[in-house]
């Protein structure tokens, strides 16, 4: 049961940091933009606002920015 509006983003390691994921998923242009969005409370992790750029994310976690949601998947 996959939601077609959620894009799967495969990662090769066990975890990825929130700032890195935002860049990998092309949700931001660069780390500066990622930092600003996170700092301003515009990023949700698993449905809750998270203000930690270094937040560790694992397979199955979802991240939402500007109404766009991605889910971390195993490579």
Q: What is the pTM of this model?
A: 0.91
| Confidence at residue 5, expressed as pLDDT on a 0 to 100 scale | 87
Task: List pLDDT tens digits, range 37-70.
Answer: 999 999 999 999 999 999 999 999 999 999 999 9
| Residue bearing the bigger pLDDT, 65 or 3 | 65
d(CA 70, CA 62): 6
Tokens 């660069």 found at: 30
* Structural fold of domain 6-74: 3.10.290
In sequence order, the 6+-apart residues with CB closer than 8 A to the CB of 7 are 25, 68, 69, 70, 71
Domain coordinates in residue numbering, the chain: 6-74
């Amino acid at each position: 049961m996959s939601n077609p509006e959620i894009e799967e983003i495969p990662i090769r390691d066990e975890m990825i940091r929130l700032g890195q994921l935002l860049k990998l998923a092309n949700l931001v242009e660069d780390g500066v933009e990622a930092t600003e969005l996170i700092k301003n409370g515009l990023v949700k992790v698993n449905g809750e606002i998270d203000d930690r750029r270094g937040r560790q994310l694992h397979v199955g976690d979802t991240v939402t920015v500007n109404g766009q949601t991605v889910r971390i998947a195993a490579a």
